Structures are given as C-alpha cells and as structure tokens.
Structure 1
Amino acid sequence: MNVSQTIETEEDLLTCLHIKLYHPQQSSRGLYGLLPLGKRSRHSADDPLRLGRDAQACTYSLVDPRVSRKQLVLFAYHTPQSPDMLFTIQNLSQRGRLSVNSSALDYLERMDLPDKALIRFGEYEMLIIRESGEAKGSFEVEFEVLAVPPSRETCMCVPSMTPVMDTGSCVTNGFPAELRAIGPLENDETLMCQS
C-alpha cells in the first residue's frame, strides 16, 4: 500500500466532540477567554486532550484559579467491534471529584463516555455530545457556552430515574406517588401523514 492510500483525505468525515460549557458566574469572569469558542479544532486521535487551568500542560485552558492545573483528559480509541471513534474520560484532579452522568470519578479514575454525557466538576457543567465520523486518525472539538445549565435543559436519565416510553421524559422515583401517577401528558401515536 502506498502512502497516499493511508493518509486521511479532506473528504473524510471527522468525529466531532461538541463541548457545551456552563458556569454560574461565566458572564462576569471571562472564564473561557482561552477557548476557541464557536469553531472546530482538529486533533490527532493518538494525543490525549487535556482540560485544566495550566495552558502549558493542557490542550485547552479555563481562566479560573479554582480549576485544577490538570482537571480532566479525554482519550480517543477504537474497538474491533465498531468503526466509531469512542472516548474515555479520566479525572486528573487530586482536589475534587468529577462526575459523568451522576457517576463520580476520583483521582485517576476513568470511564467510557456515552454519546451524550453531562460532566460536572466544581461549579462547571459540561455537556459533551459525540457526533460520529469516518476518519480513524483525527477528530474535531467544538466549544460553545450555554446560557443555562445543561442539567436543567436535558433529561439525563440516570439510575434513579425511569424513562417514560410515550414521551421520552423522565420521572424521578423520589417524587410523591401522586406526581408519579400523572403519566404522559400527550400521546401523538394516532397522527396520520398525508402525501
């Protein structure tokens, strides 16, 4: 095989991690001044992607003294069973926990990222959404700042919640029985499409 057959072409669709950030004091503190907001950045899949306060040690930096020097790292990988590029997240902070969809990770603990993950550390909330691509050797990252916490916007069904099939909404088991008994608010299964 010659070199031109093994190099990714510009036509290859790259996997993209959409990283949406929220902090309660983000408008007044300039926390995201070092992030390339609103544009896609390309990364080699064999280089770990680090996020933290230290701009020298991390791929992306937050301007916040309360963030660890190295807060977290994302690793890209492939499995023999799937052509998709997948990701693992690892907590690099010795000072604090990191949670992924309500699962806590202590220092150096790691876990696989689902296609949509709510990451929390300190007062930060990060929604990471993986958009699949075909390229094997690189991926893209796109940062965005959210006006409201993603935990309020999305229903991340976690073990303490039960999905309701008709609407896809979540009902928390901790609510009183009268609230759980309400059920789905609407059911559009009988809508007819006309051509």
Structure 2
Amino acid sequence: MNVSQTIETEEDLLTCLQIKLYHPQQNCRGLWGMLPLGKRSKHSADDPLRLGRDSQACAYALVDPRVSRKQLALQAYRTAQSPDMLFTIQNLSQRGMLSVNSSALGYLERMDLPDKALIRFGEYEMLIVRESGEAKGSFEVEFEVLGVPPSRETCMCVPTMAPVMDTGSCVKIDSNPAELTALGPLEMDETLLCQS
C-alpha cells in the first residue's frame, strides 16, 4: 500500500469559522478591501486570529479609521473531553465595547465563543458560525458580506420571556397576540420581530 494512501488529509477535516459581516455604510466605502471574501483561508490554531485596522498586527484588517488597531481576537483551543476545536473571543479595543450575543465584553475580557454568535462593535455586526472539524493544527476562515444585518436575519438571542415596558412584568413569547395586546404596549426590539 502506498504511504500517501494511508495518511489522513487535514483538508477534509478542518474546522471552519464562517464570518458573515455587515456595516450600514458598506456599499459606499471599501471596508472589506483587505479581506479574502468568498474563499477559505487556512489559519494556524496556535496563533490568535486578530481582526482590526492594523494589517501588520492583525491577520485580517478592516479599512475603517473608526475600528481599533486591534479590535478582537479569536483563539482556538481543545478540551480533553471533546475532539472539537473550540474558540474564545477577546475584546482587544480600549475604545469600545464588544458584545457577543448581547453579553458585553470590556477591554481584554474574553469568553467562550458559541457555535453561532452575533458579534457587535461600533456599527459592525458579525455572525460567526463554527463548522466542526477534527483537525488539531489549523482551521479555516471564510468571510462573506451580508446585505442585511444578521441581527434581523437570525433569532439567536430570543429570550424565553419578553419584558413589558410599562409594568416590568414578563409575557411568554409564545402567547397569542390577543393576550399581548390586552397587556398594553410592549418594548419594540429585535426579539419581537423574530417570533413570527
């Protein structure tokens, strides 16, 4: 048997982070000019993937003076209990907050990245989806630009309860519309748009 037939190829097994980007002024500015849009790029698992304005310090750069030199970092890791490659996200910006599925991260704070996460900083929205793979030494990243904000497309952060603005009491999202109308005005936010 030939040696090349017995060696597993990593190309079929790589974990992939699909990063879907949106900015309200993306059509009139060249924000994405330094990103490899529409193709998968291989990244070493032991090197944090940094995204920011500085193309020297970051693996991927955004062409926007309002973005921090180093905005965020994604770090791959594994646990003894799972063969999957997992990721943490860290806010590297001293100027602004970063939110992950509505949880705010201050400067240098980090958290585990869920399999599907809505990241927000400034006017940017990023939907990061992790496709599982078994490779240990590297992973892939694929950038895509969305025409609409991912917060409108996804119902990721819908809580099981929605607050009522005037009383502070809670109503179950799956209540029928007649019950909701009888209680008075509800706070208007993305969670109510996603229930249909």
Structure 1-normalised TM-score?
0.80
Task: Provide the aligned length of Structure 1 versus Structure 2.
Answer: 168
Q: 1:84 maps to what in 2?
A: 84
Q: Which residue of 1 aligns with 2:162?
A: 172
Deviation at 1:9, TM superposition (A): 2.2
Distance 2:126 2:69 in 1: 18
Name the counterpart of 1:186: none
- 2:175: which partner in 1? 181
Matches within 5 A, 1:140-151: 140-151=140-151
Matches within 5 A, 1:12-161: 12-158=12-158, 161=159
What one-letter code is carried by the residue in structure 1 that aligns with 2:117? A
* Structure 1: stretches of 5+ with no match in the other structure: 163-170, 184-195
After superposition, the C-alpha distances for 1:17-51 in whole angstroms (9 at most, x for unaligned) are 00000000000011000000000000110011000
- Compared with structure 1, are the counterparts of its residues 134 and 155 closer, same or farther at alpha carbon in structure 2 (3 Å cutoff)? same
Are the aligned partners of 2:162 and 2:172 in contact in 1 as well (CA < 8 Å)? no
Percent identity over paired residues: 82
With over 3 angstroms needed to count, the CA separation of the structure-2 counterparts of 1:98 and 1:44, relative to structure 1, is same
TM-score normalised over the length of structure 2: 0.80
TM-aligned CA distance change 1:11 to 1:64, over 3 Å = closer
Shift of 1:179: 7.5
Q: Distance in 1 between matches of 2:47 and 2:171?
A: 50
- Whole-angstrom CA distance in 2 between matches of 1:112 and 1:179: 27
- Aligned equivalents of 2:176 and 2:37: distance in 1? 42
Distance 1:25 1:146, change over 3 A: same
Instruction: Write the distance in 2 (CA, Å) between the matches of 1:11 and 1:87.
Output: 19
Moved over 2 A (4+): 7-12, 171-181
Aligned residue in 1 for 2:184? none
Asked if the contact 2:20–2:128 (Cα under 8 Å) also holds between the matched residues in 1, the reply is yes
Partner secondary structure for residue 84 of structure 1: strand
Please report how far the alpha carbon of residue 12 of structure 1 lies from its aligned counterpart in structure 2 after TM superposition.
Answer: 4.0
Unaligned runs of 5+ in 2: 178-196
Q: CA deviation at 1:173?
A: 3.6
Deviation of 1:181 after TM superposition, in Å, equals 2.2
CA distance in 1, matches of 2:176, 2:113: 33
**1:106-126 Cα distance to aligned partner (Å, 9 max, x none):** 000000000000000000000
Structure 2: how far apart are the matches of 1:178 and 1:155?
16
Aligned in 2, Cα 1:36/1:172: closer, same or farther, shift over 3 Å?
A: same
Question: In the alignment, is the contact (CA less than 8 A) between 1:51 and 1:72 conserved in 2?
Answer: yes
